[in-house]
Amino acid sequence: MAKPVGETQQKILLLLLGGLALGLSGSPKRYFRVAKEIRKEWRNIERRQLQRSLKLLYKSRLVKTIEHRDGTTDLTLSKEGKNVALRYNLEKLEIKNPSHWDKKWRIVMFDVPEQLRRLRKTLHFHLRELQFYQYQKSVFVHPFECRKEIEFVLEFYGAKKYVRFIEATHLDNELHLKSHFGLPYR
């Protein structure tokens, strides 16, 4: 397990992970928006602090360098570095509350085998952290768009095959849920 890293090191790991996200972004519009944010964050890191943090990340094997024949060097995340960066992303994960509710319920159901009890508890923990309402033992409900957040959690833990995601327009105890989430009764 890697040693805890400082705030600047966290930022560097997340920025490098953002570079990975650039490669995976589907649309040019999204690519340029992410690139602009990454460039802005790099500028906010003081040079000496950046060099010191990069050296520490390299020593801890969270980043690696790739030397090219033309004399340039690429700095990339190691496998462990990706895991650490994703963990920091996971800790900051939240579902945005839009100004207008689309009247759809997002339902997450999971059936995790007993031998993976820890995974079940972890999923339960993250769904509660994301403000889901526990509808039944392994069924959770949320009123706002959260597919990407759920996919991120599932991908991080390798739990996709145990979880189902449903969007519904009606639930039988909707008034209770609306009250719980502070939604209008109409």
161 DSSP assignment:
G
Q: Residue 97 to residues 10, 144, 147: CA-CA distances in angstroms?
A: 26, 6, 14
Question: pLDDT value at position 15?
Answer: 61
Q: What is the Cα–Cα distance from 121 to 132, expressed in whole angstroms?
A: 14
Contact 16, 74 (CB under 8 A): no
The CATH class given to the 105-181 domain equals: alpha beta
Beta strands 63-67 and 133-136, pairing class: unpaired
Instruction: Answer left, alpha or beta for residue 141, where phi above 0 means left and psi between -120 and 50 means alpha.
Output: beta
CATH 1.10.10.10 fits 7-91, yes or no: yes
pLDDT over 90 at 101, yes or no: yes
- Average pLDDT of the residues in 143-172: 89
pLDDT tens sequence across 165-183: 999 999 999 999 999 999 9
The pTM assigned to this predicted structure is 0.57
Question: pLDDT value at position 24?
Answer: 47
**Cα of 96 vs its chain's centroid, Å:** 13
Of residues 164 and 185, the one with the higher pLDDT is 164
Confidence label for 27 from pLDDT (cuts 50, 70 and 90): low
Q: In this predicted structure, which of 11-25, 39-53, 68-82, 138-152 has the lowest mean pLDDT? A: 11-25
Instruction: Determine which helix (DSSP H) or strand (DSSP E) holds 139, and give its type and residue range.
Output: strand 139-142
In the chain, count H helices and then E strands.
7, 6
pLDDT over 90 at 128, yes or no: yes
Q: Where are the domains of the chain?
A: 7-91, 105-181
pLDDT over 80 at 9, yes or no: no
- Average pLDDT of the residues in 105-130: 93
